[in-house]
Structure 1
Amino acid sequence: MPAVSLLLNIVWILFGGLWMAVGWMIAAVIMAITIIGLPWARAAFNIGVYSLLPFGQQAVDRDGVTGQHDIGTGPLGLIGNLIWLVLAGWWLALGHLITAILWAVTIVGLPFAWAHLKLAGLALWPIGKVIVPI
């Protein structure tokens, strides 16, 4: 990890990233309690790790990386994302949005606000995404 990404990730964790990562992990645990929620739990856990260290990584469509469609990038992924949106996505996105607004008040916080906005979009539609290094 480059030094700039490491520094940004440390500041990120200290000033808001940790509590959002905890929110993602809570969502993952809640989803993992039931057998039906396991696909969402995996996605929430992966994005929780990403939300802990977002600089130096990005979320992209999985079929763009692998070059082929799978169950998460097709019609079942669409249904899964809609269920996710109703059950957990909106409140995680709201948490990222509120944190982004708080960061955007300062000029220094604009990169962090932008990262929270990207995570808010990911919170609404996580199935079929994969986290890759930049």
Structure 2
Amino acid sequence: MNILMNILWIIFGGLFVCLEYVVSSFLLMITIIGIPFGLQTLKLAMLALFPFGVKVQSTPSDGGCLSVFMNLLWILLGGIWIALTHLLFGALLCITVIGIPFGMQHFKLAGLALTPFGKTIS
């Protein structure tokens, strides 16, 4: 079932979202300071391509103060807008019964887009 849902996700916009994350990741990696943020957008791109059957978990050693600082910086520099976009798409998709599974995946992406540091995808 996850394979079918992932194929439908890719057809109906998942590939576009993944490409946006990959392009923004490469743009962030142009500078040395942006490399950690580019790696996090690659994490988002991987999840945006195949979200069904994947769990987002906090790491056992979440990185401490550095992870908190990087998440705060991420939120201020654009993470809030990415998360709000996913929340909007999730709410729009949850209006219909057929769109509820896709909306739930946008809510999962919104959670990761808000604070990606200290999280793993499994």
Same fold (TM over 0.5): yes
Q: What TM-score results when the alignment is normalised by the length of structure 1?
A: 0.84
Q: Which runs of 5+ in 1 are unaligned?
A: 64-68
Question: Does residue 36 in structure 1 map to residue 33 in structure 2?
Answer: yes
Alignment root-mean-square deviation, CA? 1.4
Question: Does residue 110 in structure 1 map to residue 100 in structure 2?
Answer: yes
| 1:21 shift after superposition | 1.6
Moved segments of 4+, more than 4 Å:
none
| 1:34 shift after superposition | 0.9
| 1:25 shift after superposition | 1.7
Between the aligned partners of 1:86 and 1:22, the Cα distance in structure 2 is 23
Which residue type is aligned with residue 12 of structure 2? Answer: F
Give the length in aligned residue pairs.
122
| 1:31 shift after superposition | 1.7
Q: Which runs of 5+ in 2 are unaligned?
A: none
3-state DSSP of counterpart to 2:48: helix
Between the aligned partners of 1:30 and 1:37, the Cα distance in structure 2 is 8
Inter-CA distance 114–5: structure 2 relative to 1 (3 Å threshold): same
Instruction: Tell me the residue number matched to 1:87.
Output: 77
Identity %: 39
Between the aligned partners of 2:24 and 2:69, the Cα distance in structure 1 is 18
Mean CA deviation greater in 49-58 or 23-32: 23-32
Deviations 1:6-59 (A, max 9, x none): 100011111222222223223312221110111111111022111110111111
Q: How does 1:1-134 map to 2 (within 5 A)?
A: 4-63=1-60, 69=61, 73-132=63-122
3-state DSSP of counterpart to 1:36: coil
Deviations 1:76-105 (A, max 9, x none): 000000111111212211221222122112
3-state DSSP of counterpart to 1:57: coil
| 1:119 shift after superposition | 0.7
Between the aligned partners of 1:17 and 1:126, the Cα distance in structure 2 is 19
